Amino acid sequence: MLIQLLVKRLILLFFAFLALSVQAQTYPNKPIHIVIGFPPGGAIDTMVRVLAPKMSKELGQSVIIENKGGAGGVIGMQSVAGAEPDGYTLFMGTMGNFSITPAFVKDLPYKVDKDFQPITQVASSPFLVFTNSQLPVKTVSDLINYAKANPGKVYFSSSGNGGLPHMAGELFNESAGIKMIHVPYKGSAPSITDVIGGQVQLTFEAIAIGLPYLKSGRLKALATTDVKRLSILPDVPTVAETLPGFSLKNWFGLAAPKGMPMDRVNQIQRSIQIALKDPEVIKTFNDLGLEPVGDSSTEFTQFIKQETSRWQALFAKGNIKID
Domains of the chain listed by start with CATH number: 31-125+250-316 (3.40.190.150), 126-241 (3.40.190.10)
Residues 6+ apart with CB under 8 A from 215: none
Tell me the HSE value of 201 on the side-chain side, using a 13 A CA sphere.
17
* Pairing between β-strand 220-224 and β-strand 116-131 as defined by DSSP bridges: antiparallel
Task: Quote the pLDDT of residue 4.
Answer: 62
| Span 67-83, pLDDT tens digits | 998 888 999 999 999 99
State what percent of residues in the chain have pLDDT above 70. Answer: 90
Confidence of residue 175 (pLDDT cuts 50, 70, 90): very high
Over residues 158-178, the mean pLDDT reads 91
Confidence of residue 19 (pLDDT cuts 50, 70, 90): very low
Say if residue 10's pLDDT is above 70: no
Question: pTM here?
Answer: 0.84
Contact 75, 69 (CB under 8 A): yes
Which of 11-20, 33-42, 137-146, 270-279 is predicted least confidently? 11-20
| Span 81-128, pLDDT tens digits | 999 999 999 999 999 999 999 988 889 999 999 999 999 999 999 999
Contact 292, 150 (CB under 8 A): no
Task: Quote the pLDDT of residue 62.
Answer: 98
| DSSP state letters, 107-130 | T-SS-HHHHEEEEEEEEEEEEEEE
Confidence of residue 18 (pLDDT cuts 50, 70, 90): very low
What span, in angstroms and rounded, lies between the C-alpha atoms of 11 and 17? 10
Over residues 30-36, the mean pLDDT reads 98
Single-letter code of the amino acid located at 81: A
Contact 140, 224 (CB under 8 A): no
Task: Quote the pLDDT of residue 318.
Answer: 65
Confidence of residue 317 (pLDDT cuts 50, 70, 90): confident
Nearest alpha carbon to residue 294 among 88, 84, 55, 30: 55
Angle at 69 between CA 40 and CA 128, to 5 degrees: 65
| H-only helix segments in the chain | 2-25, 43-59, 74-81, 95, 101-104, 112-115, 140-149, 164-176, 188-197, 207-215, 262-275, 279-288, 297-316
Distances (CA, A) of 201 to 151, 275, 322: 14, 40, 21
